[in-house]
Each structure stands twice: as structure tokens, then as C-alpha cells.
């Protein structure tokens, strides 16, 4: 039997663990735990975190795939069920299947995406998915893997992110530019544009513009951290009314994120040299690479940030998250750093969604200020 999983941070045990039949269990089911304190770093007890899943491989176009030893006959029979329970696709945490949750309030008419801008003749789109019992809070979920961005049907997003929706938090699934010639700085600017656009439509979408968060995995996590560290108050004199709105968010959650692209741009690792689309994206000069490296843009104004990373991640080494966690701590920014022991780039849903939902539930509550 695998060791119980645990997320690790200062003085607390796991936010999520697995019971004997593999069901995700929150701390509230087994113990009372006070909310984490405000401000500063919450150190991670790395010795307690265990990953119960086999080694994983990251598929750059948007899915996680399990790999490992030989499958038993029973494993093969149950493979689909295991994938449904454990796998988190990189772009939106897809779940297999399309069970539609009950919902109310505004959303895309006919599930058609909303256009929030244009770049090089390409429409930039997002989907707004309201919570069944809305609280006014919302989370921008960045659909990005390898800095490529694809849309998934809102019905699938509802299933994959039902924990957030059940907490009354609306989900805004955002895509960035995805042309062959698109650059990482352009993708970052697109995400800022999306945040401004959602604020400009907050009343229409039944959202409180001051209670927005952002969530992403891998390159989506990188872009989420860039939005958090480089968000601004908007330009009151801008000709485009959308640009007059702030791009700031109140909370960030990033899973397996790159945080410093300077070294990769200067000398791309061999694993990226074999992937033309990523190699092309990383063709950046020193100044643009620094501009899109969130680790060097941390200030005391950065929003509360949750980081989750596996210590065996070979695609994006955990040092990326360790570095930005240290910078957040030095700046006095409230944050949590969850290291998953033996976890690779692909992490089990049990390691991610409970922690992310709890984080946004606390940080986007009406009683919290920016």
C-alpha cells in the first residue's frame, strides 16, 4: 500500500490525504486545523509528502500520461477509471466524461466563447462558467501547456473544476495567443488583457472584480505567476476602455511552474531542443526573458500565492518553485509552498484540487482585502 499523501507546509499536516480505498479526504474530515497565518513564508516539511501514483510523463500538447512498470490484468481493466480519477490535463485539469453540474446565472450563450481581444488577426477567447451558488468570487484558469493554448468545452471544464464551482467560485477559462509565431511575452500580455476584460464585465458576470484569482499548471502556472507579480492598476487615460481596468488579482495558485526563463532562453535544455514548438517559444533575448521571469518581479504587492511542485519533476525542476517561494518570503508575501515528494511534472488530482480549492476559498472570501 502506498504511503499516505500529504501536502507540506509549516507546522501542518496534509491538506489532502488518501484513505485506505484511495478516496480523497480533507483534513476537515479527520482533524480540525486553524487557517494559516497571514504574511510571510510557511516552511515546507518535505519529509512528509508522498506521491501515491506511478512515475508520470508530461505530454506537451495537454495531457498527463502515467508510465511505469508492467500492468497487471486488473490494472488494464481499470485503466480508464484510474485515469479519470488521477489525471490532470495540463490546460484545464480535464476530467474524462461530461457530467454537467447544475448551474445558474450568466454564462456563454450556447457555450460559444467570449472574445476578449485580438492579436495578429486571431481572436482571443474565454469561457465564463458560473457557480451553482455564486459568491461573487472568480478564478481565471489559464488553458496552457508548453505555451500552447487550446479550448475545451465548458461542460468538461465544469466537471474538471467542480470543487471550485461547488465553493461558489466562478471559473473563467482563458486562452492566450496560439499562432506558430506567438511569443511568451505576447501570451503574458493576453492574460493581463483577459483579467482587465473580466473586471470590465464584472457586473454582467455577477463577479466582484476585487475577488479574482488566477490558476495554472506548468506554462499556465508560469503565466499565472506573471499576472500575479506584474498586475497593475490600469491606465485611466487609455483609449481602449478595457485597458483602464486593473489587471491585479487577489490570489494565485501555480502547479509545476517555470519561474525563471533566463537560463532556458540562453541555453535551452536538451529536452526542449527536441520539442520545436517550445524551443521556438524560448527564442528570447536577455531582456524579454527577464521580463517574463516572475521570480525577479516579486514585490511586497504580490498577491497571496500557492505553489505546488513535485520534487522529481524533470521537465520543470522544483528549484523554480523553491526560488520564487524564497522571493515571496523575503518580500513578506503570504504564500504556501507544497512539495510533493517523489512527484513528477504530472501530479495526482488529489494533490492539487483540494489544496487549490481551499486556497481560493480562503483568499477570495468577502472578508479578505487586496
Burial of residue 226 (number of CB atoms within 10 Å: 0-12, 13-18, 19+): buried
At 233 the three-state DSSP class reads coil
- Residue 52's pLDDT is 36
- 347 in a domain, yes or no? yes
Residue 342 lies in a domain: yes
The answer to whether residue 252 sits within a structural domain is yes
Per-residue pLDDT of the chain (370 residues; tens, 9 = 90+): 333 333 343 222 222 222 222 233 333 333 333 333 344 444 443 433 433 333 333 222 233 332 233 334 444 444 444 343 434 443 344 322 222 223 333 445 447 899 999 998 889 999 999 999 999 999 999 999 999 999 988 889 999 999 999 999 999 999 999 888 899 999 999 999 999 999 999 999 999 999 999 999 999 999 999 999 999 999 999 999 999 999 999 999 999 999 999 999 999 988 888 888 888 999 999 999 999 999 999 999 999 999 999 999 989 999 999 999 999 999 999 999 999 999 999 888 888 999 999 999 999 987 554 4
Q: Is residue 7 part of a domain?
A: no
Domain presence at residue 176? yes
* Tally of domains within the chain: 1
- 37 falls within a domain: no
Grid coordinates standing for 263? 537560463
Give backbone dihedrals phi and psi of 351, rounded to 5 degrees, phi first: -80, -15
Beta-bridged to residue 304, according to DSSP, are 251
Q: Which of 206, 182, 212, 179 is nearest to 194 (CA)?
A: 212
pLDDT of residue 313: 93
On whether residue 32 sits in a domain, the answer given is no
Domain that holds residue 123: 109-363
CB 222, CB 294: distance < 8 Å:
yes
88 located within any domain: no
Residue 122 CA from chain centroid, whole number: 24
- C-alpha cell read off for 248: 491585479
10: its cell numbers: 509549516
Asked if 351 and 343 touch (Cβ cutoff 8 Å), the reply is yes
**CA separation for the pair 5, 258 (Å, rounded):** 24
Q: What is the pTM of this model?
A: 0.74
| Cβ-based neighbours of 314, under 8 Å, separated by 6 or more | 271, 344, 345
Q: What angle do CA 355, 356, 362 make, to 5 degrees?
A: 90
| CATH number reported for the structural domain that contains residue 276 in this entry | 3.40.50.1820
Can you give the pLDDT at residue 10? 28
* pLDDT at residue 32, as a whole number: 34
Amino acid at each position: 500500500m502506498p504511503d499516505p499523501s500529504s501536502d507540506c507546509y509549516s507546522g501542518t499536516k496534509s491538506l489532502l490525504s488518501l484513505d485506505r480505498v484511495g478516496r480523497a479526504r480533507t483534513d476537515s474530515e479527520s482533524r480540525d486545523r486553524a487557517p494559516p497565518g497571514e504574511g510571510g513564508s510557511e516552511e515546507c516539511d518535505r519529509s512528509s509528502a508522498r506521491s501515491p501514483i506511478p512515475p508520470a510523463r508530461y505530454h506537451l500538447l495537454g495531457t498527463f500520461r502515467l508510465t511505469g512498470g508492467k500492468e497487471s490484468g486488473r490494472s488494464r481493466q481499470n485503466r480508464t477509471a484510474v485515469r479519470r480519477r488521477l489525471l490532470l490535463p495540463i490546460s484545464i485539469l480535464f476530467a474524462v466524461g461530461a457530467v454537467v453540474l447544475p448551474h445558474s446565472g450568466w454564462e456563454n450563450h450556447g457555450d460559444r466563447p467570449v472574445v476578449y481581444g485580438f492579436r495578429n488577426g486571431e481572436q482571443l477567447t474565454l469561457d465564463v462558467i458560473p457557480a451553482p451558488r455564486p459568491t461573487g468570487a472568480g478564478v481565471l484558469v489559464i488553458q496552457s501547456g508548453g505555451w500552447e493554448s487550446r479550448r475545451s468545452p465548458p461542460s468538461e471544464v465544469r466537471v474538471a473544476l467542480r470543487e471550485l464551482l461547488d465553493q461558489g467560485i466562478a471559473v473563467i477559462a482563458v486562452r492566450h495567443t496560439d499562432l506558430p509565431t506567438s511569443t511568451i511575452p505576447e501570451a503574458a500580455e493576453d492574460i493581463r488583457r483577459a483579467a482587465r476584460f473580466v473586471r470590465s464585465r464584472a457586473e454582467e458576470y455577477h463577479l466582484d472584480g476585487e475577488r479574482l484569482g488566477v490558476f495554472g499548471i506548468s506554462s499556465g502556472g508560469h503565466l499565472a505567476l506573471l499576472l500575479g507579480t506584474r498586475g497593475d492598476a490600469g491606465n485611466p487615460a487609455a483609449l481602449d476602455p478595457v485597458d483602464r481596468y486593473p489587471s491585479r488579482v487577489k490570489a494565485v495558485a501555480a502547479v509545476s511552474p517555470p519561474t525563471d526563463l533566463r537560463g532556458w532562453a540562453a541555453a535551452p535544455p536538451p529536452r526542449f531542443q527536441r520539442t520545436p514548438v517550445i524551443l521556438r517559444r524560448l527564442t528570447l533575448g536577455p531582456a524579454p526573458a527577464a521580463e517574463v521571469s516572475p521570480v525577479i518581479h516579486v514585490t511586497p504587492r504580490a498577491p497571496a500565492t500557492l505553489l505546488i511542485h513535485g520534487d522529481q519533476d524533470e521537465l520543470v525542476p522544483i528549484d523554480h518553485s523553491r526560488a520564487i517561494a524564497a522571493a515571496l518570503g523575503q518580500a513578506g508575501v503570504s504564500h504556501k509552498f507544497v512539495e510533493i515528494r517523489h512527484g513528477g511534472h504530472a501530479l495526482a488530482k488529489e494533490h492539487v484540487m483540494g489544496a487549490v480549492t481551499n486556497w481560493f476559498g480562503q483568499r477570495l472570501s468577502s472578508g479578505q482585502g487586496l
